[in-house]
Structure 1
Amino acid sequence: MPASPSPSAQAAREAVAHRLRDMRRTTGLTIAGLAAQCGWHHAKTSRIENARTAPTATDIRKWCTACGYEDQAERLIAKSLHAEEMYREWREQTREGMRRLQESAVAFFRETALFRVYSSTMVPGLLQTEGYAAALLSAIADFREIEVNDGPEAARARVERSHIIHESGRRFVFLLEEGALRYQLGETEAMAAQLGYLLAAGALPTVSMGIIPDGTRRRRMWPQETFHVYDDRLVSVELLSAEVTITQPSEVRLYLRAFEELRSMAVYGQDARALIVKAIDAL
């Protein structure tokens, strides 16, 4: 288990590892002694204690039993599972296809009042049309060699969950780098339809859409990976290989600060629409 790029995720893993180590030390067991009682090689004990290997639920139960802390096993299992959920590889999330991944976010979206989304490379999922989403998700499935390539079905599910932007009671703040308007996905007609939809979506009362022009001088914040901020409590960062979920308040505040810096460089209203029309004309 490599170290996570998110300090929050790594800290959560280390908290579990340190608690297991403290149990062993308090009990007086050596690394080899605990390994013998659990029935594994002593190197595994060391890897778990140093947060290099994530323990399974069975590992934790055996560990707690060996140390006489059976009553703490289930709580530690829950903490360990939470730590692993903070850094989730896409290949694990899409094992059953991408449509299920789209549908899994619906309940969480319903619990969120304020969405902040920044994207430097593509139109955000909540603003995607079916044709654009199908091209994108199919390309992702091909690149990641996902066995179940259900791009068109996933696209329909993505558009269905995106209907939430038409509902009252929620706010959506989108920031796009201008380049995201020009990276063509799918056929020209699909790209044109997508850009046309941005013109309409930007006029919705629940939506604020800013675009950071390519020619912005003296940038105070460089382009970032796509990230989403849900209310002020959770950040999701999309990496090439995985999704990182951040809940540590100090890290969330850092992303909020970055979002506001990026937001201050964007143009809105008529100026933003002019950039979209320019991208449509370039097709």
Structure 2
Amino acid sequence: MEAAGHRTLRALRGLRGGAPGSLTVDPREAGRDRRDLAQALKTLRLVVGLSGVRLAVCCGISQSKISRIESGRVLPSVVDVQLIVQALHLDQQTAADLVALARRANIDYECVRASVRRGLHHRQRELAALEAAATRMRFFLPAIPTSLLQTAEYMRTVMTRPTSAAQGNVARAIALKLERQTVLHDGSKLFEFLLTESAIRWRMGSPGLMALQLDRLSSLSRLSGVRICVLPLSRVVQESAFHTFTVYDRSLVTAELFSGRVAMRDPKDVDHYIALFEFMLSHAETGDSARHLLARWADDFRDEGEQMPERE
């Protein structure tokens, strides 16, 4: 058993050839990370000589969850792994390697190309499932309104822009996005959308299209389960808006990048993004104040449209 344990430790330390505790995200390795983590935790428990029941008592995790973790049916959080390695009294190096592996296993990455290859409609169904399961969702939108807030024409403009990776049946994807918007009328859920002024006023199309999009935001803000918050450029905010992110309850964060999407489940990561959202929210306008800004900017777009020369 000891020899098997040493083999497991050597394999664990050489999983990616990186430094102990280093974090890399490779979409091709996501499944392997989970399998490696499950196998390593089980083998190390056997090396130490603890039963699953005894380990559960020592780390305060139910025996059934320990069993599901070791079989790969449940992905343990980083906190779970920290509790397990403490209960196993592993050396500092091994514990650090396991925690690093847990962090990798709790992060998923899907590139835009892979999402497009699967089909735009699959992504919409996945998002609909997330929105159906969650009761509170926080959206930080520094660059563009999310599709839950978009008009059909604005949506089409976004999906057919020159650099868009969208291919195939765009009309089908738009129909599914519009269908997803019905969840905003579910009064048992809370949707908090925090948009920067840049995201709201970024010119994705004609003045008329933009005015209607702003009207849409104002209209949705009156739904009982929807909160539209606006962060004006005039506000001093001592934090950077690096990227769009969404927090689902307290269990999942997704971050949008140019090249793809990252999903994070580590409770520490989730708590970090919730704190960041709340900090940004403390500087934002809400309710009637936010609607006043939206109406003013919409009127600006309408005035601009009226001043444009008519095409012959």
TM-score (norm 1): 0.71
- Per the alignment, residue 114 of structure 1 pairs with 136
- Per the alignment, residue 266 of structure 1 pairs with 284
Equivalent position SS for 1:172:
strand
For the pair 1:250 / 2:262, whether they are aligned, the reply is no
Provide the rounded CA distance (Å) in 2 between the counterparts of 1:271 and 1:195: 14
Equivalent position SS for 1:109:
helix
Cα offset for 1:56? 7.5
Distance 1:197 1:145, change over 3 A: closer
For the pair 1:230 / 2:248, whether they are aligned, the reply is yes
Equivalent position SS for 1:191:
helix
CA contact (8 A) 2:106 2:265 kept: no
Overall identity of the aligned pairs, in %: 25
Q: 2:147 aligns with which of 110, 117, 125?
A: 125
Q: 1:143 aligns with which of 138, 155, 163?
A: 163
Provide the rounded CA distance (Å) in 2 between the counterparts of 1:113 and 1:78: 22
Residue deviations 1:184-216, cap 9 Å, x none?
Answer: 223433322211111110111111111011100
Moved more, 100-109 or 167-176: 100-109
- Per the alignment, residue 162 of structure 1 pairs with 181
CA contact (8 A) 2:211 2:299 kept: no
Provide the rounded CA distance (Å) in 2 between the counterparts of 1:103 and 1:276: 30
- Per the alignment, residue 5 of structure 1 pairs with none
Distance 1:200 1:48, change over 3 A: same
CA contact (8 A) 2:116 2:165 kept: no
- Segments of 5+ residues of structure 2 without an aligned counterpart are 19-23, 44-69, 76-100, 302-312
- Per the alignment, residue 42 of structure 1 pairs with none
Cα offset for 1:26? 2.3
Cα offset for 1:274? 1.8
Cα offset for 1:109? 1.3
CA contact (8 A) 1:87 1:244 kept: yes
Question: In the alignment, residue 248 of structure 2 is paired with which amino acid?
Answer: Y
CA contact (8 A) 1:233 1:247 kept: yes
Question: In the alignment, residue 161 of structure 1 is paired with which amino acid?
Answer: R
Distance 1:84 1:96, change over 3 A: farther
- Segments of 5+ residues of structure 1 without an aligned counterpart are 1-21, 32-44, 69-73
Provide the rounded CA distance (Å) in 1 between the counterparts of 2:115 and 2:177: 15
Distance 1:27 1:211, change over 3 A: closer
Provide the rounded CA distance (Å) in 2 between the counterparts of 1:138 and 1:176: 22
CA contact (8 A) 1:119 1:177 kept: yes
Equivalent position SS for 1:105:
helix
CA contact (8 A) 2:148 2:181 kept: yes
Provide the rounded CA distance (Å) in 2 between the counterparts of 1:196 and 1:104: 28
Pairwise CA RMSD: 3.3
For the pair 1:276 / 2:294, whether they are aligned, the reply is yes
CA contact (8 A) 2:30 2:105 kept: no
Q: 1:105 aligns with which of 111, 127, 133?
A: 127
For the pair 1:54 / 2:52, whether they are aligned, the reply is no
Cα offset for 1:266? 0.3
For the pair 1:212 / 2:193, whether they are aligned, the reply is no
